[in-house]
Structure 1
């Protein structure tokens, strides 16, 4: 989405000499909807730097240990003891209590409050990855996932199924209905990932052959041609890998934003063959042979490396903020011999049988690729508090173990003593004052400043992705909105009213206790052809005095804008972005504007 120039609007709430400040008046549609902050329970409050650590505690038999108290735990950050200020014990319930009834929304009102879109209790996302997984492994995954649903799915396991291909697609929203989940997995049919074919450089190279033999001069020319072609294909392979990595990271961030407002820990089970977090390629410089214009000679080689670590850190930080633990399941199962496969002719690029050295180099490359991809899966799990399951054929059992592991945990929260947010990694250690227990948790976080340092291009990409009609609603910033059709005319000014829950925003607080918020409001109308018919993008600054905060927290932060539209059918997409944290909330609704 192309962003317009943002206008800066400053809102200051002043208090009169009255004994008590009423704060902003509630909007009539909020009362009509029966919506109050009592229903709102986002997973975190971001006005302060609370660090949440979910801890799984098991005995020697692998069973979860119950009935531990806050006094049984000790938490350290970079070796220094921290005071636990938040503690809760979460255990799966055989028969969860029925959820409180949620009031229905009135006409023209939409919301991204999690309780309107997600069931209560623990949630699991099953992400079936075709982008990073070979087609033959995808078929194996489909078979094992159906077996899991037939044999290991427990009552009240609330699972959503997503497919990651060239885009992220929801196959089934959260449900504990086994038939719906089976239908979703059956819809997961293998597809050949184009990027992996592009990255198979050696398989793409031609095998020139002359039946009458090859002269030394011709062989030299062929080798030069193949070397240059390999470089070209390698460059294409790097672009393909970059596309895979960026799409996967973006999908993780979309899912984190979607479930981040839901209270408690969420499990993201990533069934994939993954990707490396670094790539390497050679750049070769040539010079021409003046005696033969068709001949070139390599004179230098430069080894270049590209790392995705910065994007990885950004992604795992958002996953941790959203309390999403990644459980990585290797879709390849138990990996066997790497010597050759059915597509390997046993010949090199010169149509000669491969030597032992060539086979050795090929095996070394394949082994390195396997190790690098599994290292990525391990890092995602380690830095979000999940686990990795690799080199095993019972991947259906691995999925079941992931769900069980993420269902029982202790949540510890603390405010770090070190207030210097310099972006460096901080190591977390959790100790339990009972012998013979095994504990599992994320082992640290990156102390990024609250003010987001994302580049403008990254911010624009995040907002464009979140506003897309097919994207799941983001819930890290929670708000309600009303979009009312105006009086019919050739051009209509459609009012858009936002009401944001300030407890999901981050504020800078001055010495007088005044909270300063910087919030972006985005409204877009998509026409039937998928194009944007109108949009508004506004940055809004609000300074709320201490005595007004309680009323604002109860009623919400209001904002008004308008979209100018002709008659027609539209999909309205709305977004609110906290400028200090980069957290997003989105929602939307259809809109019909009739002509005269």
Structure 2
């Protein structure tokens, strides 16, 4: 694989791509949230350390039924031929029938998700719909088995997340809302060998050769497998299951499909639909398979460290051919590639203690086995006597002394390297300063279904008052949200702490050139209450809120900042246009794309009308300095910062503003923003 292809694949897998919509919890009414469980069932005791190894073991009798009465003395664990001492032993059993008698809490927040995932009687599943490796037509064949699995086989307490290869880790959300999962499954559409770009990021490589695009897709899908494992591992220990809907990976494209331009099928390809086209050499296949095995090893490593098993589900069923007759691929090449794709699915399952559900037309039987494996198992743990830090694979053998009992357990683990061990043993990084944490907390968007975002700023006014500015922007309705139309205007009422009215009026929507989406009023320092009513086009009330805030007193400090204003720009011309509009309304959004520029406009004040010196720095989410930012002073005394975002990775950042007065006193402001779209 070329360096550029690998680099682009890594870029895609880091979540910088526009994600294909996954399952979102719908807005259907949910039963009242239940308090956390206080029963006597305790979660397994989990020990951790760089040398601590966890192994989940499935024990069955000759009829395939689980054996649940084993004790630690019945097991032996050997690593590299040496007997290991079992330090922890837990039997995990799940009874969906008993769970059905209790009302399970709905998952509304990340706190709900983390609390419920930590319960030992809750099974965790991720369904990865790999549209890059599923043919159109086969996607429709797998929908019904998946829907039956969700409707009929999942237990009431089970948590499930649905994702695609381009789903960012931050968008992997677990839910008990079965309707939302089924709705997302019904939308699944395979795109194997279809290279039409569906977002701006796919357009970057759509005109590469088809073989290069396939390698990129392989990398992206494997990165998605790793991301799903890490997300589940972050929620809890114990066995977790990843249901991977895919037709497997192939390292070499046949000449008939290896178009010079992937997005233009058949163009300048002399072998298109030619059954006599030359076959790939053995050396080419060997090199491609070696690269693919190396990439899959990273998946095994991540899954085993996170105690996650992969269950590949092949939607082809009992497959005979890999390619359609219309594609003109020879029988020998077809057979080789079919075998290679099936082998990749078996390798994923065998190396993570899963099961490959392949070569069967009745997928329901195989998917029922996924639940059986997750319902009854033993969780064993030991501290490796070898304490390896060589980064190599170490074989594990788990045996049982009782006759007639069969065991399934993972075959080994990849040890940490010395660098990994040093990072794991290093003391935790200091917590970010409270001011940084408070600024980042402001990035949390409005609750789902809120029709607007708004921003409130303050600057010195006349006669000791503060000049307050209220700006709002309509948000797009979310999928499943209860509102069906955007807000058209806002009714704002501002009341002082003494109950005196300061402002009351409607603020028209942005796009009205005469008035815009902002309003300003004077307020005395102290408490301020804002009553906000969101109205539709016909005047109906969509939502409302009441907010309390404190108006700053600019007369009591030597140096102070007016509330900084943030603007969005795409080009240098947009920046120049903003500079010519000193009264332009700022944006209320704090999420930007890497194709945009962040423009900050801030004013600092000192006694006697002196303009303080202003400096700026770019910080990461830990509050650590990344770089200094130039501050340009505008004719009106405002400091302006123009920050291109193309060089920043997806994540959260802060702009730190510092103003220094003539006496040496300082003031500071932090502006948090997110780069992701």
What's the TM-score once normalised by structure 1's chain length?
A: 0.55
Secondary structure (helix, strand or coil) at the match of 2:174 reads strand
1:265 to 218, 239, 249: 239
Q: CA deviation at 1:446?
A: 2.1
For residue 319 of structure 1, the aligned residue among 303, 308, 312 is 303
CA distance in 1, matches of 2:397, 2:162: 33
How far apart, CA to CA, are the structure 1 residues paired with 2:400 and 2:44? 28
- 1:273-316 CA-to-partner distances (Å, cap 9, x unmatched) read 010368899xxxxxxxxxxxxxxxx9xx9944231233222222
User: For structure 1, which segment, 399-408 or 115-124, has the greater mean C-alpha deviation from structure 2 after superposition?
Assistant: 115-124
Which whole-Å deviations, capped at 9, do the CAs of 1:188-212 have from their partners, x for residues lacking one? 2444553599xxxxxxxxxxxxxxx
CA distance in 1, matches of 2:56, 2:618: 40
**How big is the shift at 1:405?**
1.3
Give the whole-Å Cα distance in 2 for the aligned partners of 1:478 and 1:114.
24
Q: Is residue 527 of structure 1 aligned with residue 592 of structure 2?
A: yes
1:363 maps to 331
In structure 2, runs of 5+ residues without a counterpart are 1-6, 9-41, 198-207, 256-277, 422-429, 443-455, 459-560, 567-589, 599-616, 630-639, 654-670
Instruction: Please give the alpha-carbon distance, in whole angstroms, between the structure 1 residues aligned to 2:370 and 2:209.
Output: 36
Residue aligned with 1:483, SS: helix
Q: CA deviation at 1:47?
A: 3.9
Contact 1:491-1:567 within 8 A present in 2 as well: no
Matches within 5 A, 1:114-513: 115=114, 118=117, 120=119, 121-164=122-165, 173-191=173-191, 193-194=193-194, 236-263=209-236, 264-276=238-250, 303-304=283-284, 305-306=287-288, 307-336=291-320, 341=324, 343=326, 362-452=330-420, 482-484=437-439, 489=561
Indicate the structure whose relative CO is greater, using CA pairs within 8 Å and at least 6 residues apart.
Answer: 1
Residue 434 of structure 1 deviates from its aligned partner by 1.1
1:536 paired residue among 613, 619, 630: 619
The 1:482–1:391 alpha-carbon spacing in structure 2 relative to 1, beyond 3 Å, is same
Show the 5 A alignment for 1:11-22: none
- 1:573, CA displacement in angstroms? 4.2
Q: Which one of 81, 84, 87 corresponds to residue 83 of structure 2?
A: 81
Q: Answer yes or no: is the 8 Å Cα contact 2:317–2:361 preserved in 1.
A: yes
CA distance in 1, matches of 2:246, 2:360: 13
Which residue of structure 2 aligns with residue 508 of structure 1? none
Cα 1:78–1:172 change in 2 (3 A) is closer
Larger Rg: 2
Partner of 2:60: 58
1:141 deviation in Å?
Answer: 1.1
Cα deviation, 1:521-555, whole Å, max 9, x if unaligned, reads xxxx74378757495349xxxxxxxxxxxxxxxxx
- The alignment covers a number of residue pairs equal to 391
| In structure 2, C-alpha distance between the alignment counterparts of 1:117 and 1:450, rounded to whole Å | 35
What is the deviation of 1:389? 1.3
Secondary structure of the 1:131 match is helix
1:199-255: CA deviation from partner (whole Å, max 9, x where unpaired):
xxxxxxxxxxxxxxxxxxxxxxxxxxxxxxxxxxxx934312211211011101211
- 1:99–1:427: structure 2 CA closer, same or farther, 3 Å change rule? farther
8 Å contact kept, 1:256–1:322:
yes
Q: What CA distance in whole angstroms lies between the structure 1 residues aligned with 2:140 and 2:104?
A: 41
Deviation at 1:445, TM superposition (A): 1.7
In 1: Cα distance, 2:233 partner to 2:381 partner: 16
Aligned-partner Cα distance in 1 for 2:337–2:231: 32
Distance across 2 between alignment mates of 1:367 and 1:85: 48
Query: Deviation string for 1:330-356 (max 9, x for gaps)?
Result: 121111357x84525x7xxxxxxxxxx
Change (3 A) 1:487 1:170: closer
Q: Distance in 2 between matches of 1:161 and 1:170?
A: 13
Offset, 1:318: 1.4
TM-score by length of 2: 0.49
Distance 1:420 1:189, change over 3 A: closer
Does the CA-based 8 Å contact 1:268-1:325 persist in structure 2? Answer: yes
- Tell me how far apart the structure 1 counterparts of residues 385 and 59 of structure 2 sit (CA, whole Å): 26
Gaps of 5+ in 1: 3-39, 106-110, 198-234, 282-297, 347-358, 454-476, 495-524, 539-558, 576-589
Aligned equivalents of 2:349 and 2:102: distance in 1?
32
| 3-state SS, counterpart of residue 320 of structure 2 | coil
Q: Distance in 1 between matches of 2:438 and 2:650?
A: 8
Kept in 2: contact 1:253–1:319 (CA 8 A) = yes
Aligned to 2:51: 49
Task: Using the TM superposition, give the Cα deviation of residue 90 of structure 1 relative to its aligned residue in structure 2, in angstroms.
Answer: 0.7
Is the 2:211–2:253 contact (alpha carbons within 8 Å) kept by the matching residues of 1? yes
SS of corresponding position for 1:175: coil
Asked if structure 1 preserves the Cα contact closer than 8 Å seen for 2:130 and 2:190, the reply is no
Give SS of 1:135's match.
coil
Alpha-carbon shift at residue 92 of structure 1 (Å)? 0.7
Alpha carbons 2:318, 2:359 under 8 Å: kept: yes
Q: CA contact under 8 A between 1:84 and 1:412: conserved in structure 2?
A: yes
Is the 2:597–2:642 Cα contact (8 Å) retained in structure 1?
no
CA contact (8 A) 1:56 1:440 kept: yes
- Whether the aligned pair in 2 keeps the contact of 1:385 and 1:440 (CA below 8 Å) is yes
